[in-house]
């Protein structure tokens, strides 16, 4: 059973400083990784998908994947107070389960 | 996100039966129901892909999904239980393959069971 863990549980950064979030997964055959954002009381907004080792950039959001280390990270460049939200890592294995498994999230607060 | 509409947005129930509705006009072939309990990540309940149902076997039998057509998804709940209090998200994606699997989520239905 895939386990997805995120760290830190909460993170506070100043506006404009880089924010870095971490996610580890247990199934080494995983090949489908996505980062979502959820503002309080709202639905999930997908930020970036990554399928192979290396990095993938979508605007101010960059995902880094190292499958050998079972680690995927999200870096947010020049965060703004409107980026304050819960950030969720989601992992699945295309050849196996169709199911996206979510981590428990990181609460990001960006101070003006 | 107004591309996937869910109704109702808020629901307060005693032990009753109710149906949640979801509609998408994106031409997506896969539709999902997710449950998100307080302070927890979303968990997949059901997936319809090309109208074929795939069920998460841990979901209680009082939850019954229905996919009357490719753009509509229903979730029937009979005799709700307090543990059913959660936000229920509908999502859809073009398919379930790696390159077209990214589910797009609706705003959710917040269910509170008294």
**Cα(B109)–Cα(B114) distance, integer angstroms:** 16
Instruction: Write out A42-65 in H/E/C secondary structure.
Output: CCEEEEEEECCCEEEEECCEEEEE
Residues of A in contact with B106 (CB under 8 A): 43
| Residue A1 structure tokens | 């059973």
Search chain B and give the residue with CA nearest A9: B39
Question: Are the Cβ atoms of A88 and B89 closer than 8 angstroms?
Answer: no
Q: How far apart are CA B35 and CA B65, in angstroms?
A: 13
Residue B98 pLDDT: 66
- Cα angle B25, A61, A92 (rounded to 5 degrees) comes to 60
**pLDDT one-digit tens code per residue, B7-59:** 998 888 877 788 999 999 999 999 999 999 998 899 999 999 888 888 787 89
CA B62 vs CA A102, B16, B38, B75: distances in Å: 24, 11, 20, 10
Closest CA of chain A from B50, distance in Å: 14
Q: What is the pLDDT at residue A30?
A: 87
Q: Which of A20-24, A65-69, B14-18, B37-41 has the lowest mean pLDDT?
A: B14-18
Q: Do A43 and B43 touch (CB under 8 A)?
A: no
Residues B16 and B113: beta-carbon distance below 8 Å: no
Order the strands of the B72-77 sheet from edge to edge: B4-7, B18-24, B72-77, B63-69
Token representation of residue A100: 């996206």
- pLDDT at A96 > cutoff 60: no
Chain B residue set in contact with A, beta carbons under 8 Å: 1, 40-44, 47, 49, 54, 56, 89, 91, 96-99, 101-108
Q: What is the pLDDT of residue A95?
A: 58
Q: Which residue has the tokens 């995902």?
A: A63
Extract the tokens encoding B26: 């994106």
Query: What was the pLDDT predicted at A94?
Result: 65
Q: Please tell me which residue of chain A has the smallest CA distance to B107.
A: A43
**Parallel, antiparallel, or unpaired: how do β-strands A61-66 and A10-14 relate?**
unpaired
Tell the residue number behind the tokens 């509409």, with chain if given.
B5
- Which residues of A have a CB under 8 Å from any CB of B? 31-32, 34, 36, 42-46, 49, 51, 88, 92, 94, 98-100, 102-105
**Binary contact (B43, A102; C-beta < 8 A):** yes
Round the average pLDDT of chain B to a whole number and report it: 88
- The pLDDT of residue B1 is above 60: no
């Amino acid at each position: 059973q895939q386990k997805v863990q995120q760290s830190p549980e909460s993170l506070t950064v100043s506006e404009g400083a880089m924010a870095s979030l971490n996610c580890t997964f247990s199934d080494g055959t995983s090949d489908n990784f996505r980062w979502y954002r959820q503002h309080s009381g709202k639905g999930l907004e997908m930020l970036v998908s990554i399928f192979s080792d290396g990095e993938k950039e979508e605007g101010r959001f960059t995902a880094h994947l190292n499958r050998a280390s079972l680690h995927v990270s999200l870096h947010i460049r020049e965060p703004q107070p409107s980026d304050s939200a819960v950030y969720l890592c989601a992992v699945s294995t295309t050849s196996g389960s169709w199911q996206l498994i979510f981590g428990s999230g990181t609460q990001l607060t960006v101070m003006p | 996100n107004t591309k996937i509409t869910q109704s109702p947005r808020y629901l307060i129930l005693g032990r009753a039966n109710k149906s949640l509705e979801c509609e998408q006009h994106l031409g997506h072939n896969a539709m999902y129901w997710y449950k998100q309990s307080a302070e927890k990540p979303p968990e997949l309940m059901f997936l319809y892909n090309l109208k074929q149902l795939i069920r998460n076997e841990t979901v209680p039998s009082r939850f019954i999904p229905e996919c009357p057509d490719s753009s509509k998804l229903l979730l029937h709940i009979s005799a709700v239980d307090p543990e059913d209090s959660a936000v229920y998200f509908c999502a859809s994606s073009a398919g379930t393959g790696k390159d077209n699997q990214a589910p797009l989520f609706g705003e959710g239905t917040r269910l509170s069971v008294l």
